[in-house]
Structure 1
Amino acid sequence: MKRKILTILVIFMLGKVVAQLDSTRVNPKRTLLKKSIIPLSLIGTGIILSDSSLENSFNTTTRNWVGNDFETTSDDYIRYAPVATLYLADIAGIQAKNHWFDQTKNLVISMILTDVFTRALKKSVFKLRPDGSNENAFPSGHTSITFASGAVVYEEFKNSSSLLAYSGYGFATLTGGLRLANNKHWVSDVLAGAGLGILVTKLVYHFDYLFKWNPFMKSQDMSLVPRYSDGNVGLYLSKKF
């Protein structure tokens, strides 16, 4: 009970800050409330289901379905798929909402903030993982980070390619599902992580006009290219001469 109350207070405080920022009416054409309904619903559902008999039953059913010996590391790699999708789409010339630098800026801010909130909740909640390995279950870090980057893909391509836009959420959903199959998280951890990642990214895009700065706006011959080598993910600049 204390765990749920603490989590609710953290979410409430975050919502309070958002409401105060939105009340400035700097950009009245955007409606933050409508953007927040789905992620807040996911977080709320996760809080309600946490430590419930329904959650325990779902975990047992999942393990019986995939097998108690099931184990994969695919989720460690799939969680980066939305990031790769974002830049591969740029390289392919698919029209995006923002310049690649602004995309990167929003992506980095979203992922850093999501990671900070996720770690803060983990250290406050102390929920035991279903496999008993530690007490860092709530919320799911893999899921929150992947949904944050997936939400960036959605925001960038929702007006030009629906299939591409939703692909980010597809990879994120797969990542969350694999965390359940690996017995690393409960369903409430995944739902809350998904909601948190989406909410943070929605906030970043809602208030992106507050940190508009792009030194590469006139450099259309430069782009970012994702790079993966020896387990490390990174980006490097590409310039056409």
Structure 2
Amino acid sequence: MLKQFYLLLILLLLSLSAIYGQISNGKTLDSIKRSKHSSNKFFTIKKTILPVTLIGIGVLINNTHFEKKFQIDLRNKVGNTYEFKIDNYVQFMPIAEMYVADAFKIKAKNHWFDQTKYLFISNFISASITHSLKRITNKTRPNGSLHSFPSGHTTFAFTNATVLYNEFKDTSPFLAYSGYAFAATTATFRMLNNKHWMSDVLVGAGIGIVVTQLVYYFKPLKNFNPFKKTKGVAIAPFIDNKHFGVFTQITF
């Protein structure tokens, strides 16, 4: 059962790469002139099909016998006392990757302030949706505690991974896709640690991806960047179990 589970995750990542690879094919997109209507239609179909599918599957298996049996089998494989809290840390890795890449001057889609702006907006919206659903559904976790559906850790991880993807998909594909490996690891260990059901992590992943893609499509506060012309800016992320942020040094 555990091998089948990891195979499922690998297939999910491959599907993600295939779908997003089509989106990021700049030559194809630049070679075809589209009207505003067709451009909107292209965005809706291509960029939302995966997260909507994840959310749909999560809703369908929510509270089903299949989901409960899967979690029982999973815990039996690893042991009912198993706990490895790596999921509390790897959820932050896409953020760290982005700012480290900025520090090493790897070309990104946006200025570091705009990256931070879209990261904050995406996480604010996705977290608001996730925590609202937690209160509404009041689903019991596998370990007996409340507020299981959807997974907040998974939503956060996939939101961060999708920000990283959008920033570096055209200049550093390996870096861009690497965030999803950390996000999938977060989702996996939420289940292995008996914190969440499969439906929780699928819906959390879907919310994180679709919200971030919409933020990058509409670009709220697009022209707001007081640091656009500021030189001598140094940034570095800091991460621990309860906090994350960025140290910034500006030389005027």
Alignment of 1:52-71 (within 5 A): 52-71=64-83
SS in structure 2 of the partner of residue 97 of structure 1: coil
Kindly report which structure 2 residues correspond to 1:150-229, keeping only aligned pairs within 5 A, or say none.
150-208=161-219, 211-228=222-239
Conserved 8 A contact 1:39-1:198: yes
Residue 32 (structure 1) shift: 2.6
Residue 11 of structure 2: aligned partner: none
| Aligned-pair CA distance for 1:239 | 3.4
Q: Secondary structure at the match of 2:81?
A: coil
What is the total number of aligned residue pairs between the two structures? Answer: 216
Correspondence 1:129-144 to 2 at 5 A: 129-134=141-146, 136-144=147-155
Which of residues 30, 44, 57 in structure 1 aligns to 2:56? 44
Task: Compare 206-215 and 153-162 and name the one that shifted more.
Answer: 206-215
Q: How far apart, CA to CA, are the structure 1 residues paired with 2:60 and 2:119?
A: 29
Q: Secondary structure at the match of 1:224?
A: strand
Question: Could you tell me which residue of structure 1 aligns to residue 27 of structure 2?
Answer: none
| 1:165-222: CA deviation from partner (whole Å, max 9, x where unpaired) | 0111111100000000000100000000000000110010000065331111112421
Counterparts of 1:55 and 1:229, CA distance in 2: 32
Unaligned runs of 5+ in 2: 1-34
> For structure 1, which segment, 51-60 or 231-240, has the greater mean C-alpha deviation from structure 2 after superposition?
231-240
Q: Does 1:72 align with 2:84?
A: yes
Q: 1:50 to 1:101 in 2, by over 3 A?
A: same
Task: Give secondary structure in 2 for the equivalent of 1:211.
Answer: coil
**What residue is the counterpart of 2:133 in the other structure?**
121
1:100–1:223 CA contact under 8 A, matched in 2: no
- Residue ranges of structure 1 left out of the alignment (5+ in a row): 1-24
TM-score, normalized by length of structure 1? 0.84
Q: 1:36, CA displacement in angstroms?
A: 0.8
Cα pair 2:151 2:204 within 8 Å, conserved = yes
**CA 1:93–1:188 in 2, change beyond 3 Å: closer, same or farther?**
same
Deviates more, 1:81-90 or 1:207-216: 207-216
Q: AA paired with 1:225?
A: A
Q: Which residue matches 1:22?
A: none
**How much has 1:64 moved relative to structure 2?**
1.6
In structure 2, distance between residues paired with 1:148 and 1:228: 17
Identity in percent: 44
